[in-house]
Structure 1
């Protein structure tokens, strides 16, 4: 898989342009306050850089990268309701790549997650997908487990209707407002949402509340330890406020899940795009690898680049991160 398969350059550039404009339009006069580390909760952090008018800091304890000082929750809620970039993602970007992502991302993801549950000897009869988007993951899960009870939680009316069109049960709201499903699911999943949320600890606790005792909470998101983010840093297209504001370290993810009350926490980084993302960035700006002779050598050969990507994935050094934790009995 290549980055262009799931993020065509023209669509991505337009989305990033809209995001930068929204950052100025929606947050120019909003009050901001410093926040503790979104991973470990620590209070000591170093300023790293600014992007689109948003400052990012790294935790001196666990190494997580997060946006701080942070605008108010109300400002973010208004942004997601009214922003041009959010509408563009839901109405233009994702529909253009939905089926490509089904084959390259969601189908393999459902198969891998199903195998992971089998390895844990987890009987999964009830699944909740928080931030279900177009409902593709649940659709693929149903193909593997036809008798499973599936629930999509999706606040966007456009996306909620896409889930309904696939015959899924839907709650059209944010997870924090959902009632009647406490301690319900064998498995609560959340894909590519944590990097967006205002308060990751409160959010993960919400996911835990939806899981039954002995059930599992799973997220996939972006991690700061990944090769592409570490090398590109503020030039990374993955770091684009106001959308992506949380990039926890491997240590930060473990501490976050522990603070949320989970146990038996597993962190993996099964990403496959880190090297290709850097290669694409270097094509646009060769100066990125100035004085990086060894990295240029790694990326020059297709065989070496593929082997290096496997090394990253196997050693918790890919930015695409999976975190799984068990709710205590």
Structure 2
């Protein structure tokens, strides 16, 4: 983790902030406002905050008054402290249940839900940190993306050992019900499904055994604007490989 925190993440930090986390924060903010959550948010907690790219965007927006984090990596946690977070707890969320008071209005999980062995136990732990009217925001890879559905036989590394769960859209609803939460909002927000399919087909067309249809699809998908337009259709119909889910502890915020 030391190399990733100090070298790799630094090299791509600015690009990731501009292309991923700033648009994501604006979308989350819009969703929370639609749910009548008042801004600025008094107390926020991020689970698995890494080196703080999402935290940086949220704090700089002025929409968060106090930002805390739980981060298992000590190296990444040190970076978080330097960003000015109020509290940084080093470890797993299970270590702080019953220790951290339930003061949080919003808890964020960016790319975390796919890692716990038991997602329901994980969510139940996070509930203990939320206020009675608190909100849990999950952004994670899912099992409903058209890239995974079409290419799963070609993706032997889709489920590396440290990734336990790719949850379907229906699975998020079931998980919410099982944990006694209400699914307030669900959006399919993936942006790369068609790019992944396109580049896979592009590589396959160099093989003589591939059917002619692959070359035709490559020719069609060679147009970036067409891929973007089709990706928007996939988002509308919940067929992308990344989702945003907002769960609440009560019927009303």
**Smaller-chain TM-score bracket:** 0.7 to 0.9
Distance 1:298 1:203, change over 3 A: farther
Partner of 1:51: none
1:129 lines up with 2:50 in the alignment: no
C-alpha RMSD of matched pairs (Å):
2.3
Q: Secondary structure at the match of 1:132?
A: coil
Partner of 1:160: 77
Q: Distance in 2 between matches of 1:117 and 1:161?
A: 30
1:317 lines up with 2:236 in the alignment: no
Q: Distance in 2 between matches of 1:226 and 1:107?
A: 23
Deviation at 1:251, TM superposition (A): 0.3
Q: Deviations over 1:210-263 (max 9, x none)?
A: 111111111111111101111111433871411222111100111111111111
Q: Distance in 2 between matches of 1:196 and 1:141?
A: 23
Scaled by the length of structure 2, what TM-score is found?
Answer: 0.87
Uncovered stretches (5+) of structure 1, i.e. residues with no partner: 1-85
Q: Distance in 1 between matches of 2:101 and 2:174?
A: 23
Deviation at 1:87, TM superposition (A): 5.6
Distance 1:228 1:165, change over 3 A: same
Q: Distance in 1 between matches of 2:210 and 2:166?
A: 23
Deviation at 1:297, TM superposition (A): 6.0
Q: Deviations over 1:84-121 (max 9, x none)?
A: xx565445433321221011111111121112111111
Partner of 2:21: 106
Deviation >6 Å, runs of 4+:
none
Uncovered stretches (5+) of structure 2, i.e. residues with no partner: none
Partner of 1:308: 230
Partner of 1:245: 164
How many correspondences in the alignment?
244
Distance 1:226 1:180, change over 3 A: same
1:198 lines up with 2:124 in the alignment: no
Distance 1:113 1:301, change over 3 A: same
Q: Deviations over 1:152-177 (max 9, x none)?
A: 11010111011011111211111111
Q: Secondary structure at the match of 1:148?
A: strand
Q: Distance in 2 between matches of 1:159 and 1:130?
A: 13
Asked if structure 2 preserves the Cα contact closer than 8 Å seen for 1:216 and 1:326, the reply is: yes
1:187 lines up with 2:102 in the alignment: no
Q: Distance in 1 between matches of 2:36 and 2:156?
A: 38
Scaled by the length of structure 1, what TM-score is found?
Answer: 0.68
| 1:279-318 superposed matches below 5 A | 279-286=198-205, 290=211, 295-296=217-218, 298-318=220-240
Distance 1:248 1:128, change over 3 A: same
Partner of 2:57: 140
| 1:11-160 superposed matches below 5 A | 89-123=4-38, 124-145=41-62, 148-160=65-77
Q: Distance in 1 between matches of 2:157 and 2:213?
A: 21
